[in-house]
């Protein structure tokens, strides 16, 4: 066995450039796949975490009559005494944050411009507002007793050229169907680094939102954050009630969940294409090696090496190429992934309805992905060597000795 | 005792629609310890006959026996096993593995037949000594002269102690001095160990070493004569 590896190793060094290029092809293919897999994983993971922390939470308690995509301010479509419900939810140990929110459609108008927005009434003291607090780029966060103050996102501020202290008109259709209009002062400008969110969402204190929309002591939803994503289903079970619907992050982000599945299939196709090209390079290298060494194969067969021994020799050469390629791929790909994990790649305002992509995608490589890719690359390289190895093994000694090949 | 016996062997090659009859019914028996030359002009069938004896090829008809065993219908792996244990080869081109040293080339057949490491080492050193290349043990073929390479090939052929060594034009690519060295070594080993040598050649200087000369022409044996062979000078 040692001799087999020694022979294979030396054979690879007979044509250093070709062997290095082949190993580099394996390394290049693998690092490309590592990068693609980690960027895709990072994109989906980022979009999901972003959507959870800004929009869906891990769970939402909605009234029984809630319909997805419809924002209703009718009392029967809202949760009455939400604080009371919230306090009950907070008693569950998995719950980190539970807070009522009111959601309404509105129009923000300036003297010569108007823009459709979503008004979110929040409890300013809630931990759920952390992404907005952390993202304040101008002004101050709103206070619970503020009757005129609102927060807007930086994209909306840029588009309408608004600054802290500016006064804007907000228009809503109230719970009883009337249209109300009030002047508000921009207390602060936030960024969640999610252009799709920052362009459309206006935050105001829950009490003010309730008064503005004539919904009194009602909220659209109870927004809940849990310790872990996977706790959503058991907590949802525990919160089952005839009066409410309990929607998990999966229920609310089905597009992302499905997109993740499609992305998985897409990734497999990419694996096949890239590794197919890599495999072709390896096959080509070894086929050339077989035909260059036809006489040697004949000599080995003449002195008694059987076909499987000759085959093993080429498989070991492929295994060494694969090992070099995989190690190279992990180093090159790992470096690229590390760069994009820290710096990300700017995609700007890229959005799909219901999915909140950050303006930068950060790569995220899981140990499982790295190991799977390394194994798949290794196995495909070995499979690619089967054809040349079989050519070598099936050569008739007498023809091989005359350099005639298979 | 017969090391090899060929009975009524024919070998026909078909290239496209053209059939070439390389051997046309050859009977030959080689006894243990012989130093036999197969001679004849190009195309006479001497190399084909050597390949049949060496189980590198199979006869179209007729039989091949090695050490009394009928090897005519053995499959690829069985023939490989028999070659490994019973036959050594020396080729016209210096058929060494270029990535292995002289030592490792000689060691290769011993690895294939599963010789233990300690025995392997002793045997390789013994063979290097026998062909006068102990000081070149760790040189690769490209660091050896043609004559030295052919001596390594002779050592490799003898490493597993086969009863039969087949050499196809062993001096064809060597100058006179190196050719003589190789033939002297083969002759000495034949005398010292009793191993049987059969070599194909058309070089009169090589033929003069043979104790028996089998002359082939157009695929048939024309003449089979015995002599005392050339003495080492």
Mean pLDDT of chain B: 89
Average pLDDT along chain A:
88
For the stretch B7-59, pLDDT in tens is 999 999 888 888 888 899 999 999 999 999 999 988 899 999 999 999 999 99
**Which of B76, B120, B153 to mutate to probe the A interface, most A CBs <10 Å?**
B76
Segment A30-80, tens digit of pLDDT: 999 999 889 888 888 888 888 898 888 999 999 888 776 777 888 888 898
Q: State the DSSP string of A337-372.
A: HHHHHHH-EE--S--BTTB---SEE-----HHHHHH
User: Binning pLDDT at 50, 70 and 90, where does residue A351 land?
Assistant: low
Which of B91, B100, B156 shows the shortest C-beta gap to A7?
B100
A304 to B77: CB separation less than 8 angstroms, yes or no = no
From CA B133, how far away is CA B145, in angstroms rounded? 11
- The rounded distance, in Å, linking the Cα atoms of A223 and B99 is 71
Could you report the per-residue pLDDT of A113-156, keeping only the tens digit for each? 889 999 999 999 999 999 999 999 999 999 988 999 999 999 99
Question: Any CB–CB contact under 8 A between A398 and chain B?
Answer: yes
Place of tokens 């063979």: B127
Question: Measured between CB atoms, does B98 come within 8 Å of chain A?
Answer: yes
**Which one of A236-245, A260-269, B211-220 scores highest in mean pLDDT?**
B211-220
Interface membership of B112 toward A (CB under 8 Å): yes
d(CA A152, CA A187): 8
Contact A304 B76 (CB under 8 A): no
pLDDT digits (tens, 9 = 90+) for B131-177: 888 999 999 999 998 889 989 998 999 899 899 999 988 888 888 88
- Where do we find the tokens 């949760």? A79
Cβ separation A304–B99 shorter than 8 A: no
Q: What is the model's pLDDT at position A186?
A: 95
DSSP string for A83-151: HHHHHHHHTSTTEEEEEEEEEEEEEEE-SS-EEEEEEEEE-TT-GGGHHHHHTEEEE-PPPTT-SSEEE
Is the Cβ of B11 closer than 8 Å to some Cβ of chain A?
Answer: no
Are residues B93 and A295, on separate chains, in Cβ contact within 8 Å? yes
Q: How far is A283 from chain B (nearest CA, A)?
A: 22
Sign of CA dihedral B167, B168, B170, B176: positive
**Complex ipTM value:** 0.87
Whether residue A302 lies within 8 A of chain B, CB to CB, comes out as yes
The C-alpha atoms of residue A121 and residue A161 are separated, in whole angstroms, by 23
Q: How far apart are CA B11 and CA B50, in angstroms?
A: 12
Residue A107 pLDDT grade (very low, low, confident, very high; cuts 50, 70, 90): very high
* Structure tokens, B67: 């050490």
What is the pLDDT, as a whole number, of residue A405?
A: 47
Helix (H, G, I), strand (E, B) or coil at A188: strand
Which residue among B54, B56, B99 places its CB closest to the CB of A10? B99
Element (H, E) at B63: strand B61-66
Give chain A positions within 8 Å (CB) of B95: 295-296, 298-299, 302, 401
Average pLDDT over residues A334-340: 94
Residue B232 predicted with pLDDT over 50: no
The number of residues in chain B equals 233
Nearest to B77 among A6, A306, A397 (CB): A306
Q: Are A391 and A287 in contact (CB under 8 A)?
A: yes
pLDDT of B116 above 50: yes
Interface membership of A296 toward B (CB under 8 Å): yes
- Determine the pLDDT at residue A353: 61
CB burial of B186-196 (b: ≥16 within 10 Å; e: otherwise) equals bbebbeeeebb
Beta bridge partners of B4: B30, B66
The pLDDT value given to residue A262: 83
Identify the pLDDT of residue A11. Answer: 84
Q: What is the pLDDT of residues A154-211, one digit of tens each?
A: 999 999 999 999 999 999 989 888 899 999 999 999 999 888 889 999 999 999 999 9
Interface contact flag, B54 A306, Cβ < 8 Å: no
For A400, the closest chain B residue by CA position comes to: B56
Q: How far apart are CA A304 and CA B81, in angstroms?
A: 6
Q: Which residues contact A333 (CB under 8 A, 6 or more apart)?
A: A27, A30, A31, A32, A33, A34, A35
**Which of A27-41, A216-230, A241-255, B192-206 bottoms out in mean pLDDT, i.e. has the lowest?**
A241-255
Quickly state the pLDDT bin for B228 (edges 50, 70, 90).
low
Interchain CB contact of A306 with B (< 8 Å): yes
Mean per-residue pLDDT for A277-301? 89
Q: Which residues of A fall within a CB distance of 8 Å from B109?
A: 303-304
B77 → chain A, closest CA residue: A306
State yes or no: pLDDT of A373 exceeds 80.
yes
How many other CB atoms are found less than 10 A from the CB of residue A167? Answer: 11
| Contact between chains at A300 and B108 (C-beta distance less than 8 A) | yes
pLDDT of residue A393 exceeding 80? yes
Q: Cα–Cα distances in Å, from A179 out to A54, A78, A182, A211, A219?
A: 28, 19, 10, 13, 19
Secondary structure of residue A72 in the 3-state scheme: coil
Q: Kindly report the CA angle at A400 between A397 and A405, in degrees rounded to 5?
A: 130
Write down the pTM of the prediction: 0.74
Residues A210-220 have pLDDT tens digits of 999 999 899 99
List CB contacts (< 8 A) between A400 and chain B: none
Specify the pLDDT at position A350.
Answer: 65
Residues of chain A with pLDDT > 70: what percent? 97
Residue to substitute from B52, B99, B101, B149, interface A, most A β-carbons within 10 A: B99
**Cross-chain Cβ contact A303/B54 below 8 Å:** no
Q: What's the length of chain A?
A: 406
Judged on CB neighbours under 10 Å (0-12, 13-18, 19+), B138 is: exposed
Contact B3, B165 (CB under 8 A): no
Structure token digits, residue A1 = 């066995």
What are the chain A neighbours of B88 within 8 Å (beta carbons)?
A: 303
Is B141 within 8 Å of chain A by CB? no
Q: What is the pLDDT of residue A271?
A: 85
pLDDT in tens, A249-288: 888 887 777 877 888 888 888 888 888 888 898 899 889 9
Mean pLDDT in residue range A311-319: 91
Confidence of residue A403 (pLDDT cuts 50, 70, 90): low
Closest Cα in chain B, distance from residue A351 (Å): 59
| Cα separation, A203 vs A220, whole angstroms | 14
- Report the residue from B80, B93, B108 with minimal CB separation from A301: B80
């Amino acid at each position: 066995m040692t001799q087999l590896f020694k022979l294979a190793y030396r054979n690879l060094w007979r044509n250093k450039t070709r062997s290095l290029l082949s190993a580099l092809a394996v390394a290049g293919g693998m690092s490309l796949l590592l990068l693609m897999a980690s960027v895709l994983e990072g994109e989906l993971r980022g979009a999901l975490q972003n959507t959870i922390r800004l929009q869906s939470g891990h769970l939402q308690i909605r009234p029984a009559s809630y319909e997805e995509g419809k924002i209703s301010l009718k009392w029967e479509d809202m949760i009455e005494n939400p604080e009371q419900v919230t306090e009950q939810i907070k008693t569950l140990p998995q719950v980190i944050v539970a807070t009522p929110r009111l959601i309404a459609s509105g129009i923000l108008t300036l003297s010569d411009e108007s823009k459709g927005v979503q008004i979110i009434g929040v409890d300013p003291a809630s931990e759920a507002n952390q992404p907005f607090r952390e993202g304040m780029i101008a002004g101050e966060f709103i206070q619970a007793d503020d009757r005129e103050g609102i927060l807007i996102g930086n994209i909306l501020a840029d588009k309408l050229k608004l600054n802290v202290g500016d006064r804007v008109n907000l228009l809503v259709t109230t719970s009883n169907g009337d249209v109300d209009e009030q002047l508000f002062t921009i207390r602060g400008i936030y960024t969640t680094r999610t252009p799709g969110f920052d362009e459309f969402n206006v935050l105001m204190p829950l009490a003010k939102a309730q008064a503005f929309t004539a919904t009194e002591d009602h909220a659209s939803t109870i927004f809940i954050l849990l310790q872990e994503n996977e706790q959503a289903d058991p907590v949802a079970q525990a919160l089952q009630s005839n009066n409410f619907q309990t929607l998990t992050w999966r229920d609310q982000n089905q597009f992302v969940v499905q997109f993740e599945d499609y992305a998985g299939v897409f990734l497999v196709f990419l694996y096949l294409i890239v590794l197919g090209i890599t495999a072709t390079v390896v096959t080509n290298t070894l086929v050339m090696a077989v035909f260059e060494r036809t006489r040697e194969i004949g000599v080995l067969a003449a002195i008694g090496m059987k076909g499987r021994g000759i085959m093993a020799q080429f498989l070991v050469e492929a295994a060494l190429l694969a090992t070099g390629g995989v190690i190279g791929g992990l180093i090159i790909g790992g470096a690229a992934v590390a760069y994009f994990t820290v710096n990300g790649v700017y995609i700007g305002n890229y959005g799909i309805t219901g999915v909140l992509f950050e303006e930068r995608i950060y790569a995220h490589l899981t140990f499982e992905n790295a190991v799977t890719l390394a194994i798949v690359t290794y196995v495909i390289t070995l499979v690619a060597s089967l054809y040349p190895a079989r050519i070598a093994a099936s050569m008739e000694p007498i023809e091989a000795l005359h350099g005639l090949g298979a | 005792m017969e090391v090899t016996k060929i009975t009524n062997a024919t070998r026909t090659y078909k290239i496209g629609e053209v059939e070439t009859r390389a051997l046309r019914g050859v009977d030959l028996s080689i006894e243990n310890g012989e130093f036999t030359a197969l001679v004849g002009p190009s195309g006479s069938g001497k190399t084909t006959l050597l390949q049949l004896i060496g189980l590198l090829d199979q006869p179209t008809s007729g039989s091949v026996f090695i050490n009394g065993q009928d090897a005519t219908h053995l499959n690829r792996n069985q023939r490989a096993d028999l070659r490994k244990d019973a036959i050594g080869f020396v080729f016209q081109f210096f058929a060494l593995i270029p990535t292995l040293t002289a030592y490792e080339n000689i060691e290769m057949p011993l690895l294939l037949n599963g010789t233990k490491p300690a025995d392997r080492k002793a045997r390789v050193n013994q063979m290097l000594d026998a062909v006068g290349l102990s000081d070149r043990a760790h040189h690769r073929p490209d660091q050896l002269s043609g004559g030295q390479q052919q001596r390594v090939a002779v050592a490799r052929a003898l490493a597993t102690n086969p009863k039969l060594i087949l050499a196809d034009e062993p001096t064809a690519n060597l100058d006179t001095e190196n050719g003589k060295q190789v033939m002297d070594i083969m002759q000495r080993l034949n005398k010292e160990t009793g191993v049987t040598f059969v070599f194909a050649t058309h070089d009169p200087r090589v033929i003069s070493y043979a104790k028996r000369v089998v002359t082939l022409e157009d695929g048939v044996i024309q003449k089979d004569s015995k002599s005392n062979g050339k003495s080492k000078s």
